C-alpha cells in the first residue's frame, strides 16, 4: 500500500476545525463539536469503503468484513486541548486503512474511542468496550459540569447499534504524539512504546467552617483552602523518598465553596491523581497520601474525606511482537532516529491490551507541550509516523 501524506494532512486539519479555538481545540466527549466531528469521520470512513459503526457508548468504528487489524485512537479532547492528541492516531488509521483498501491489501479497521480524555471517567469508551467497566456503572458517571453519562450517550442513540465483537480483531496499533519532551530533546522522530503508566485518583473533600473574612480571627478559622494548600505542600515532602523522577502527581481540579472573596472558604473538593509505571509504588504513594490527609486534618481541624475516583488503571506493558514489528518499521523508515520508551500519558491501548495484542508508537511533541492549545508536531514527523504505522500494519494485518 502507498499512504497519501497530503490527503492525511488535509483530513487532520479538517478534523481540527471541529471545536477549533486558536491553535487548539475544545471538543469534549458528546459536546456539539464532538458529535459533528464523529458524523464527519463516519462519512470519511464510508467514503473510504469502511462500514461506520457507532456502539452504545459512542465509540465509532470503521469496519472491513471478517478478521482485521484495528488501528485508531480518540477524537474527543481535553477542555483546552491540542489539535493532535488522539486526532493524529484516528486520522493516521483512516489513511492507512484507506490506502490498504485502494491497494486491495490487508484487512485494516479503524476506531475513534469515546471520552478517552475523561470527561466522565478515564478512557470511558474503551473501558466499557474492553469489559473493564460495565454499562450500568458507566451510566452513573457524572462529569464535573453535572452531566450524567447516560444522558450524554443518549445524544448518539439514534445512530448507535451493538458493541463490536473484539474477536474480529487480531490486534490493535495506536499512533499518538508523545506529549512529553523526550523525543524532542533527543532529536528522535519515533518512539516505540514499551508500556503505559498506571494511574489512581482520589476525590478529596475538605470541610472547614464558612465564616466572615473580616471578623473571624486567624486563630479561630477552619479554612478549607488553607488545608488544601497544606496538603499540596506536604505531599512534595512525604513523596520525596518514594517517587522516582518519572513519578507524577497532580491536583488539576479544585472547587472552592462558596468561592467568594469575603468569605472564609467552608468547603473544598479537589482531584488528586498520581501515576507511575510500578504498581507497588502506586500503592505506597496512596498510603503516603492517606497519611498526609490525616496529618492535615489533625493540624487544621478541617474534616477531610476521600473517595477513589473512577477506576484504577494498572501499569500496562505493550505486546512484545507488536513492539518488535514497530521497531522493525522504525528502523527502516527512521534509521538511527527512533527509541523504545514508556508512556507517561494514558491511552486507550491500555484498556484494549486486555482483549488482544497491542502496540503504540509516538512522534515528537514540540517543546514537550500537550493538553494545551500550543500542542504541535512538525509535519515531517507526522508523516514519518504515518509511514511507520503503515509499514507495521501491512505486516500485522490479515490478508
Residues near ligand GLV, by CB under 6 A: 117, 345-346
| 8 A C-beta contact, residue 67 and residue 168 | yes
Q: With binding defined as CB under 5 A, does residue 11 bind Mn ion?
A: no
d(CA 72, CA 212): 54
Number of residues that bind Mn ion (CB under 5 A): 2
Binding site partner of 388, from Mn ion, ligand GLV, none, Cβ cut-off 5-8 A by kind: none
Interface with Mn ion, residue 86, by CB under 5 A: yes
Q: Taking each helix axis from N to C terminus, what angle separates 320-333 and 379-396, rounded to the nearest 10 degrees?
A: 130
Nearer to Mn ion, 85 or 139 (CB): 85
Between 48 and 345, CB nearer to ligand GLV = 345
Choose from ligand GLV, Mn ion, none: what does 15 bind? Cβ within 5-8 Å by kind.
none
The CA distance from 187 to 382, in Å, is: 14
- Out of Mn ion, ligand GLV, none, what residue 322 binds, judged by CB under 5 to 8 A for its kind, is none
Q: How far apart are CA 146 and CA 69, in angstroms?
A: 37
Residue 362 beta carbon to Mn ion: minimum distance, rounded to whole angstroms: 11
Question: What beta strand segments (E) does the chain contain?
Answer: 20-21, 24-25, 51-54, 60-63, 68-74, 108-113, 169-177, 190-196, 198-207, 211-212, 248-257, 263-264, 267-276, 303-308, 316-317, 338-343, 358-363
Q: Considering CB distances under 5 to 8 angstroms, the limit depending on partner class, which of ligand GLV, Mn ion, none binds residue 115?
A: none
Closest distance to ligand GLV from the beta carbon of 391 (Å): 26
CB of 103 to Mn ion, least distance (A): 29
- Residue 123 CB, shortest distance to ligand GLV, in Å, is 8
> Which range, of 59-67, 79-87, 201-209, 351-359, touches Mn ion by CB under 5 A?
79-87
Contact residue for Mn ion among 11, 34, 55, 85 (CB under 5 A)? 85
Q: Minimum Å distance from CB 85 to Mn ion? A: 4
Q: Tell the smallest beta-carbon distance from residue 20 to Mn ion (Å).
A: 17
Q: In this complex, which beta carbon is closest to Mn ion, that of residue 85 or of residue 188?
A: 85
Cα separation, 354 vs 254, in Å, equals 33
Residue 346 Cβ vs ligand GLV, minimum distance, rounded to whole Å: 4
When CB distances are held under 5 to 8 angstroms depending on the partner's kind, the choice from ligand GLV, Mn ion, none that residue 346 binds is: ligand GLV
Stretch that binds Mn ion, among 50-58, 80-88, 160-168, 267-275 (CB under 5 A): 80-88
Which x/- pattern, by CB under 5 A, does the window 306-335 give for Mn ion?
A: ------------------------------
The count of C-alpha atoms lying within 13 angstroms of the C-alpha of 321, restricted to the half-sphere facing its C-beta, is: 10
- Binding region for Mn ion (CB under 5 A) out of 1-9, 83-91, 202-210, 288-296: 83-91
CA distance 177 to 260: 40
Q: How far is the CB of 118 from Mn ion (least distance, A)?
A: 8
Q: 237 to each of 84, 209, 231, 232, 243, how far by Cα in Å?
A: 35, 27, 10, 9, 10
Measured in whole angstroms, how far is the alpha carbon of residue 178 from the centre of its chain? 12
For residues 319-346, one letter each, b for 16 or more C-beta atoms within 10 angstroms of the residue's C-beta and e for the rest, the string is beebbebbbebbeebbeebbbebbbbbb
Distance set, CA 234 to CA 60, 112, 238, 292 (Å): 44, 40, 6, 7
Binding site residues, Mn ion, CB under 5 A: 85-86
Amino acid at each position: 500500500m502507498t499512504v497519501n501524506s497530503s490527503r492525511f494532512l488535509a483530513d487532520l486539519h479538517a478534523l481540527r476545525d471541529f471545536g477549533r479555538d486558536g491553535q487548539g481545540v475544545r471538543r469534549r466527549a458528546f459536546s456539539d463539536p464532538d458529535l459533528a466531528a464523529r458524523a464527519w469521520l463516519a462519512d470519511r470512513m464510508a467514503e473510504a469503503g469502511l462500514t461506520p459503526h457507532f456502539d452504545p457508548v459512542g465509540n465509532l468504528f470503521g469496519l472491513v468484513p471478517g478478521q482485521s487489524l484495528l488501528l485508531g485512537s480518540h477524537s474527543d479532547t481535553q477542555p483546552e486541548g491540542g489539535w493532535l492528541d488522539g486526532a493524529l492516531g484516528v486520522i493516521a488509521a483512516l489513511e492507512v486503512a484507506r490506502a490498504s483498501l485502494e491497494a486491495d491489501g490487508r484487512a485494516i479497521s479503524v476506531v475513534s474511542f469515546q471520552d478517552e480524555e475523561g470527561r466522565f471517567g478515564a478512557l470511558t469508551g474503551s473501558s466499557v468496550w474492553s469489559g473493564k467497566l460495565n454499562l450500568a456503572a458507566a451510566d452513573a458517571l457524572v462529569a464535573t459540569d453535572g452531566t450524567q453519562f447516560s444522558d450524554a450517550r443518549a445524544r448518539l442513540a439514534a445512530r448507535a447499534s451493538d458493541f463490536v465483537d473484539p474477536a474480529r480483531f487480531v490486534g490493535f496499533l495506536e499512533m499518538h504524539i508523545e506529549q512529553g519532551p523526550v523525543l524532542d530533546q533527543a532529536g528522535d522522530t519515533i518512539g516505540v512504546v514499551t508500556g503505559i503508566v498506571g494511574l489512581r485518583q482520589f476525590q478529596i473533600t475538605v470541610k472547614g467552617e464558612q465564616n466572615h473574612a473580616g471578623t473571624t480571627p486567624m486563630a479561630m478559622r477552619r479554612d478549607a483552602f488553607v488545608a488544601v494548600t497544606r496538603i499540596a505542600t506536604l505531599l512534595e515532602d512525604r513523596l520525596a523518598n518514594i517517587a522516582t523522577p518519572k513519578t507524577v502527581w497532580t491536583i488539576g481540579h479544585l472547587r472552592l465553596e462558596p468561592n467568594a472573596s469575603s468569605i472564609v472558604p467552608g468547603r473544598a473538593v479537589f482531584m488528586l491523581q498520581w501515576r507511575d509505571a510500578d504498581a507497588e509504588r502506586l500503592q505506597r504513594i496512596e498510603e503516603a497520601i492517606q497519611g498526609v490527609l490525616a496529618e492535615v486534618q489533625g493540624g487544621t481541624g478541617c474534616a477531610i474525606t476521600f473517595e477513589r475516583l473512577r477506576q484504577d488503571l494498572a501499569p500496562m506493558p505493550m505486546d512484545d511482537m507488536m513492539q518488535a514489528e514497530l521497531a522493525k518499521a522504525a528502523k527502516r523508515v527512521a534509521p538511527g532516529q527512533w527509541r523504545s520508551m514508556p508512556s507517561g500519558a494514558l491511552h486507550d491501548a491500555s484498556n484494549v491490551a486486555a482483549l488482544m495484542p497491542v502496540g503504540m508508537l509516538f512522534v515528537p511533541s514540540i517543546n514537550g507541550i500537550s493538553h494545551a492549545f500550543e500542542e504541535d508536531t512538525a509535519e515531517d514527523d507526522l508523516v514519518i509516523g504515518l509511514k511507520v504505522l503503515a509499514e507495521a500494519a501491512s505486516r500485522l494485518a490479515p490478508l
